[in-house]
Amino acid sequence: MAITSNFEKHTTKNPIGRWFLQNFMNNLISTVRPLAIGSILDAGAGEGFTLARLSLEKIGKKLEGIEYSRDAIELGKKLHPEFLIKQGNIYDLPYKDNSFDLVISTEVLEHLDNPKVGLRELIRVAKKYILLTVPSEPWFTVQRFIRGKNILKFGDHPEHLHHWTSQGFEKFVTDGNNIEVIARRHPFPWTMLLLDKE
């Protein structure tokens, strides 16, 4: 079982990395806390770190995750055995339309060959709200370079296929989809959007 980059991010001892992650999670929690939500799907749940934080904050009654990486799921079973994290594909989520009050997908869309298809699946299974985050470029790459990450590629993350500015990501999300952006947050170096299905 391999250690994933997501696991490394959530367990880093680097104080700067820990501050970035804490700020990110605090923004996520403060964005979804006011919503009246009972059920939450974390699409791209990794090892269950976001589900664990939501549970700690007593947000949502039914928390579930779906994850593509079998290594992440195996780690998640050891770290957070209280959560159901299914193995699955974001292009074909194994849920009916409008299954969850809130669908969360953090740090996923930038990895996809076809993020538009993935986004439409997230919208399909959401009953009301969708919360999305992606790295905010060029700031994400700049901070990685400054921190000595992937210097030979000037900080570019080797697993990222898409590089959105905050404005570019919002345009991507809303273009052709019947959704409204109801909250925008910018926990450096990420873009966070809360969407409402119209």
pLDDT at 138: 59
pLDDT at 110: 87
Q: How confident is the model at residue 145 (pLDDT cuts 50, 70, 90)?
A: very low
Pick the CATH number of 37-197 from 3.40.50.150, 3.90.870.10, 3.10.20.30, 3.40.50.720: 3.40.50.150
Q: Report CA-CA distances (Å) from 163 to 70, 85, 144, 168.
A: 26, 28, 14, 9
Tokens of 193: 């959007």
pTM of the model: 0.87
Q: Report CA-CA distances (Å) from 122 to 83, 88, 126, 140.
A: 20, 13, 6, 24
Number of Cβ within a 10 Å radius of residue 90: 22
The model's pLDDT over 58-94, given as tens digits with 9 standing for 90+, comes to: 999 999 999 999 999 999 899 999 999 999 999 999 9
The model's pLDDT over 150-167, given as tens digits with 9 standing for 90+, comes to: 544 444 555 666 678 888
CB 90 within 8 Å of CB 65 = no
Domain ranges of the chain: 37-197
Q: Report CA-CA distances (Å) from 144 to 8, 29, 48, 67, 175.
A: 15, 25, 24, 25, 29
- Residues 63, 59: Cα–Cα separation, whole Å: 9
CB neighbours of 46 closer than 8 A, spacing ≥ 6?
Answer: 4, 6, 7, 10, 65, 67, 69, 72, 76
Q: What is the CA radius of gyration of the chain?
A: 16
Report which of 193, 180, 189 is spatially closest to residue 160, judged by C-alpha positions.
189
pLDDT at 146: 54
β-bridge partners, 87: 67
The model's pLDDT over 96-129, given as tens digits with 9 standing for 90+, comes to: 999 999 999 998 998 889 999 999 999 999 999 9
Number of Cβ within a 10 Å radius of residue 51: 25
pLDDT at 100: 98
